[in-house]
Amino acid sequence: MASESVILVTGGSGLVGEAVKWVIENETGERFGKRENEKWIFLSSKDGDLRKEADVKAIFEKYKPTHVVHLAAMVGGLFKNMKYKLDFLRENMMMNENILWQSKEFNVKKVVSCLSTCIFPDKTTYPIDETMVHDGPPHDSNFGYAYGKRMIDVYNHAYNEQFGCHFTSVIPTNVFGPHDNYELEGSHVLPGLTHKCYLAKKNNTPFVVWGSGKPLRQFIYSRDLAKLFIWTLREYEEIDPIILSVGEKDEVSIKDVADGIVKAMDFQGEYAFDSTKADGQYKKTANNAKLMKYIPDFEFTPFDVAIKESVEWFEQNYDTLRK
Ligand code: NAP
Ligand code: GFB
């Protein structure tokens, strides 16, 4: 990227957006750190409602981006997805439509959008890889979000074939880290259990994990994902998506996650499972071979270290964080 690059990050105030900001501001190395010719702009919904075409057009007129990292979305855990399937579909479709159309209109050189491994078919062989995105219906618990996200890949190919646009996407597994959303109902499992364990310790009440604790997940630390986003923006040339995930061997159970939080919070109290609550998808084991072929030496933060750092950030920012 020779001339000055203006990189617009939508969803810059969220879990992943704040991690990209942290890496750009703190990483010193050439590989992931900020470069001379780069100007990074991190948006929040205060800069404009991306569901509204006029707001998006105004943002593009103001910043005239050369590159876009499109993170903004309606996001939530299993229980929020089960409750608001249509909102997830409509809101994300509107944001994606507006961002990609204005990116074409303003001749943006590259857009990197964000999918999720929950979009893959539910009835499939494992491990899942990038070629399987459209091979059948997603899990019923999140089909609204999943189909909305799949359409990004369809858009990217259509924009490329009709207008030669260079719009691509990445597919992260479950993400966690500082600046997460800690709502007790709507959040993802790791921030949700972090908040519940904190309250159980504070109020001397039982720490209750929903479901059986048996489902399996791969978790990527937001700051590792942020580095991979920066690499994708700078180096990844394909239109096809790429999975950004730890390896299959790092898959853990929901019980392992809860154990890790109990340890990081030094919780000594009663710890139980509420099997009346849904387990959701049993697993969505993703294959990261494509990523490892591109960056064989990439080092992921060990899970227990990343949980410890995330719990410390949570405790230090409890008064101001989203909950
Ligand atoms: P998040 O923490 O909930 O942040 C969402 C971001 O989108 C915030 O910056 C929010 O702005 C912005 N936003 C939401 N609605 C908007 C609207 N109508 N107009 C303008 N901005 C809006 O989400 P995240 O976890 O960082 O997710 C980032 C991306 O990663 C999403 O595309 C998500 O689908 C994907 N992803 C997440 C996970 C995960 O486990 N978290 C896993 C796979 C993929 P405000 O701060 O102003 O509300
Ligand atoms: O992160 P999560 O909500 O979503 O994890 P998914 C759900 C798993 O954690 C289920 C268990 O097996 C739940 O039974 N769990 C236990 C809990 N305690 C809790 C808790 O307090 N809160 C939550 N949320 N779960 C989502 C998709 O699937 O993955 C989204 O629905 C998105 O669209 C996200 O893609 C990354 O991993 O099941």
Q: What is the pLDDT of residues 255-286, one digit of tens each?
A: 999 999 999 999 999 999 999 999 999 999 99
Q: Are 241 and 169 in contact (CB under 8 A)?
A: yes
- Give the separation between CA 294 and CA 257, rounded to whole angstroms: 29
Residue 30 has pLDDT above 90, yes or no: no
- pLDDT in the model for residue 1: 47
Question: What pLDDT digit, counting tens, does each position of 53-111 carry?
Answer: 999 999 999 999 999 999 999 999 999 999 999 999 999 999 999 999 999 999 999 99
Identify residue 63 by its one-letter amino acid code.
Answer: Y
The residue nearest atom 4 of ligand 1, judged by CA position, is 14
- The residues annotated with a catalytic role in the active site are 145
**Contacts (Cβ under 8 Å, ≥6 apart) of 148:** 88, 89, 90, 92, 93, 96
- Give the separation between CA 303 and CA 175, rounded to whole angstroms: 12
Identify residue 128 by its one-letter amino acid code.
Answer: I
Ranges of beta strands (E only) in 128-200 are: 167-172, 174-176
Question: What pLDDT digit, counting tens, does each position of 172-189 carry?
Answer: 999 999 999 999 999 999
Choose the weakest-confidence range: 1-5, 271-275, 307-311: 1-5
Ligand 2 atom nearest to 277, measured from its CA: 14
Helices first, then strands: H and E counts in the chain = 10, 12
Distance (angstroms) between ligand 2 centre and the Cα of 156 equals: 28
**Contacts (Cβ under 8 Å, ≥6 apart) of 132:** 120, 121, 124
Residues 294-302, mean pLDDT to the nearest whole number: 97
Distance (angstroms) between ligand 1 centre and the Cα of 245 equals: 18
Closest CA to 95 of 55, 50, 130: 50
Residue 252 has pLDDT above 70, yes or no: yes
Residue 317 has pLDDT above 60, yes or no: yes
Our mutation pick for probing the ligand 2 site, out of 114, 189, 190, 254, counting the most ligand atoms within 8 A of Cβ, is: 189
Residues lining ligand 1, Cβ inside 6 A: 11-17, 44-46, 49-51, 71-75, 114, 116, 172, 174-175, 181, 188
- Give the separation between CA 132 and CA 124, rounded to whole angstroms: 8
Our mutation pick for probing the ligand 2 site, out of 78, 173, 185, 187, counting the most ligand atoms within 8 A of Cβ, is: 78
- Among the bound ligands, the one closest to the CA of 51: 1
Residue 309 has pLDDT above 70, yes or no: yes
- Give the separation between CA 1 and CA 16, rounded to whole angstroms: 23
Q: Are 66 and 9 in contact (CB under 8 A)?
A: no
- Give the separation between CA 55 and CA 44, rounded to whole angstroms: 12
Please confirm whether the linkage preceding 127 is cis (ω < 30° from 0): yes
- Give the separation between CA 73 and CA 88, rounded to whole angstroms: 8
Ligand 2 atom nearest to 190, measured from its CA: 1
- Among the bound ligands, the one closest to the CA of 69: 1
- pLDDT in the model for residue 2: 59
Ligand 2 atom nearest to 174, measured from its CA: 36
Identify residue 254 by its one-letter amino acid code.
Answer: I
Give the whole-number percent of the chain exceeding pLDDT 70.
99
- pLDDT in the model for residue 29: 86
Ligand 2 contact, 116 CB (< 6 A): yes
The residue nearest atom 17 of ligand 2, judged by CA position, is 189
Residue 128 has pLDDT above 80, yes or no: yes
- Report CA-CA distances (Å) from 138 to 85, 124, 160, 217, 251: 13, 10, 25, 16, 20
